[in-house]
């Protein structure tokens, strides 16, 4: 039996085809080094990834692809020695392009050893993995952000519960005293009303915190029932009355909506109105004006509007104003102007009502 051995022409053709194949690869930089690390061959992928043409780079040492810190640390020559000792090495790190920019590279450096165990040179395959690394980093950042958000929500929920617990007996006591005002000395009646109002205000703020955590978890529940929107608005104004009085604001109301009985969660709707009123109070200068009005349109839909002559809202901030914890520039140095105001705290309830 005899084996058919390829002739020199067939060997040459095969080698040429392999050379063409390697040269046509664009996703990988594939090139050869001599025993000292000088570049001997250069393919299309190498030119695409690193930016050098074959004429520019062949004959130069491959250390030019490493960062200055890696060169100073002797990493290029250390990699050659390690590849010669082990046969090949895999490496990942920053590499430098012709224009000086860097990219994240995955590298396989293989020693070419002859029959006498002498290193004749090296083959080097480099892949640009910048996008993959960024994707992994983005995913890691996303997971970290989700964990941080959950930790924040858990903290707010726990904090809200701890803050609300001592308010319950305080509100019960203030309510009892208010219901039995005739038994109190006259000079204490107004004080009891102030205490009750401020305890209710504090409870309202805590409810807002709890609602925010429920919204982010998709667990906000609405108890829909028929309610008088005008009564809800008046209750919200009453809750904010001390803040309005403290800034000596002039409040006008025109509750002219003919149809003001609506299907809503009355408690949360009052939160919405109170947030809007409170936001107007905060952003209006001492002695300013706030106007509240309601009306019914041609479709018989209920409308609520609040306007003030405060500092206004920059147009570029309108897109983000409904986001939680977002607000316009609180500085009062800008020229006051009439505006319709909104609060990011109100958006979740608004979206569920209308």
Summarize pLDDT for 56-104 with one digit per residue, the tens.
Answer: 999 999 999 999 999 999 999 999 999 999 999 999 999 999 999 999 9
- The beta strand positions in 115-167, using DSSP E, are 119-128
pLDDT in tens, 169-217: 888 888 888 888 888 888 888 888 878 877 877 777 777 777 776 776 6
* Cα 158 to Cα 156: distance, rounded to the nearest angstrom: 5
Report whether 182 contacts 238 (CB < 8 A). Answer: no
21: enclosing H helix or E strand: helix 8-24
Per CATH, is 222-354 categorized as 3.10.20.600?
no
pLDDT band at 270 (very low <50, low <70, confident <90, very high): confident
Which pLDDT does position 216 carry in this prediction?
A: 67
pLDDT tens-digit map of 6-56: 555 544 455 566 567 677 678 899 999 999 999 999 999 999 999 999 999
CATH of 8-128, one of 3.40.50.300, 3.40.50.970, 3.30.450.20, 3.30.530.20: 3.30.450.20
- Give the 3-state secondary structure of residue 20: helix
Instruction: Judge contact between 257 and 295, C-beta under 8 A.
Output: yes
- Where would I find the H helices in 58-129? 68-72, 75-86
Rounded CA gap, 280 and 178, in Å? 29
Report pLDDT for 348.
Answer: 43
Determine the pLDDT at residue 342: 40
Average pLDDT, the chain: 82
Strands (E), the chain: 28-34, 88-96, 102-113, 119-128, 225-228, 250-255, 261-264, 289-296, 302-308, 339-340
Residue ranges per structural domain of the chain: 8-128, 154-219, 222-354
Fold of 154-219: Helix Hairpins (1.10.287)
Output the pTM of the full model.
0.45
Q: Do domains 8-128 and 222-354 have the same CATH topology?
A: no
Q: Are 32 and 51 in contact (CB under 8 A)?
A: no
Length of the chain measured in residues? 354
Q: Which positions ≥6 away from 340 have C-beta within 8 Å?
A: 305, 306, 307
Does position 279 have pLDDT exceeding 70, yes or no?
A: yes
């Amino acid at each position: 039996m005899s084996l058919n051995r390829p002739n020199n022409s067939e060997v040459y053709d095969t080698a040429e085809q392999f050379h063409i194949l390697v040269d046509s690869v664009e996703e990988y930089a594939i090139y050869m080094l001599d025993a000292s690390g000088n570049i001997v061959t250069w393919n299309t992928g190498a030119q695409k990834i690193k930016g050098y043409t074959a004429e520019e780079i062949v004959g130069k040492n491959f250390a030019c692809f490493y960062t200055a810190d890696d060169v100073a640390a002797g990493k290029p020559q250390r990699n050659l020695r390690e590849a010669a000792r082990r046969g090949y090495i895999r490496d990942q790190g920053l590499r430098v392009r012709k224009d000086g920019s860097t990219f994240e590279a995955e590298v396989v450096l293989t020693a070419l050893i002859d029959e006498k165990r002498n290193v004749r040179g090296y083959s080097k395959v480099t892949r640009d993995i910048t996008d993959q690394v960024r994707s992994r980093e983005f995913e890691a950042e996303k997971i970290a952000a989700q964990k941080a958000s959950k930790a924040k929500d858990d903290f707010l929920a726990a904090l809200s519960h701890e803050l609300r617990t001592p308010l319950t007996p305080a509100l019960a006591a203030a309510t009892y005293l208010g219901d039995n005002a005739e038994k109190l000395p006259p000079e204490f009646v107004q004080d009891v009303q102030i205490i009750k109002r401020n305890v209710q205000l504090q409870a309202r703020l805590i409810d807002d915190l709890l609602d925010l955590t429920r919204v982010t978890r998709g667990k906000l529940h609405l108890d829909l029932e028929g309610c008088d929107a005008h009564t809800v608005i008046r209750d919200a104004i009453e809750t904010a009355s001390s803040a309005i009085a403290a800034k000596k604001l002039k409040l006008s109301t025109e509750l002219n909506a003919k149809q003001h009985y609506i299907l809503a969660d009355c408690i949360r709707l009052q939160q919405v109105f109170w947030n809007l009123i409170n936001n107007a109070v905060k952003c209006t200068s001492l002695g300013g004006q706030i106007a509240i009005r309601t009306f019914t349109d041609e479709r018989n839909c209920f409308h609520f509007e609040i306007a003030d002559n405060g500092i206004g809202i920059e147009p570029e901030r309108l897109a983000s104003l409904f986001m939680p914890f977002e607000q316009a520039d609180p500085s009062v140095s800008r020229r006051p102007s009439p505006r319709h105001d909104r609060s990011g705290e109100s958006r979740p309830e608004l979206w569920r009502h209308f």
